[in-house]
């Protein structure tokens, strides 16, 4: 999809109210979670616009968006857990999850499953491949649900608030969303780099301590 299609979808959702709005938000977020190439952030911002204009309640926007995000992520995770590597050959996933994305997701998960399952919510393009691959690699469901749930608690209100702030100005909302994504991605990159450096340092120190014990006894 091009930006014009995203704007059209945004404008369509922003015209809804009540039950149709909730059902549309929930349905599109489920589709996003399953890997459909629609920016999830756009849907959350649209939910914020509806909440800001009174077409739906703010609490309803948060609850619907939160559960839509978690349900989409969880379905993808449990599909991977149930069917394993076979899913990457399915036509519905093969076109979306390229071998490069899958390999990148595997490397990240194998290095630190908890951190990656949390950070994936803030990584557009890698989000769905990471969730599916986490299931394939049999990451513990409790670990996945906890980390994804915590990340959603942070991200969902952020995008909904942005929608409430921007109002019906879709161009401004999407522009700010791109800026937010850059800031979040940069902050996550720095945090993950520091985290990995700390882990390497801790591991190296542990190895040197263990290897030094015999010489101290002699």
- Token pair belonging to 180: 């937010």
Report the b/e string of 138-165 with b at 16+ CB within 10 A: ebeeeebeebbbebbeebbbbbbbbbbe
- Residue among 177, 166, 155, 153 nearest 49 (CA): 166
26-83 tens-digit pLDDT: 988 888 777 677 778 888 888 988 888 888 999 999 999 999 999 988 988 998 898 8
Domain boundaries, the chain: 3-217
pLDDT by residue for the chain (218 residues), tens digit each?
445 666 677 777 878 788 998 999 998 888 877 767 777 888 888 898 888 888 899 999 999 999 999 998 898 899 889 888 787 777 766 666 677 777 777 777 776 778 888 888 887 777 888 888 888 888 889 999 999 999 899 889 888 888 887 766 656 666 666 666 677 767 767 776 776 677 777 777 766 665 555 544 44
Is the entire prediction scored with pTM above 0.75?
no
């Amino acid at each position: 999809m091009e930006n014009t299609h995203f704007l059209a979808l945004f404008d369509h959702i922003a015209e809804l109210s009540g039950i149709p709005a909730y059902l549309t938000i929930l349905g599109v977020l489920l589709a996003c979670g399953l890997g459909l190439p629609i920016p999830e952030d756009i849907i959350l911002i649209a939910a914020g616009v509806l909440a800001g204009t009174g077409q739906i309640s703010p609490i309803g926007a948060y609850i619907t968006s939160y559960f839509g995000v978690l349900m989409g992520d969880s379905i993808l995770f449990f599909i991977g857990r149930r069917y394993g590597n076979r899913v990457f050959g399915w036509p519905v996933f093969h076109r979306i999850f390229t071998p490069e994305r899958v390999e990148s997701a595997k490397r990240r998960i194998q290095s630190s499953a908890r951190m990656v399952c949390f950070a994936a919510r803030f990584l557009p393009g890698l989000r769905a491949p990471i969730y599916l691959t986490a299931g394939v690699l049999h990451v513990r469901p409790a670990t996945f649900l906890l980390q994804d749930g915590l990340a959603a608690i942070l991200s969902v209100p952020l995008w909904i608030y942005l929608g409430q702030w921007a109002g019906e100005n879709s161009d401004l909302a999407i522009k700010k969303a791109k800026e937010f994504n850059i800031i979040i991605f940069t902050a996550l990159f720095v945090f993950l780099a520091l985290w990995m450096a700390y882990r390497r340092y801790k591991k190296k120190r542990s190895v040197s301590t263990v290897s030094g014990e015999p010489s101290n006894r002699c």
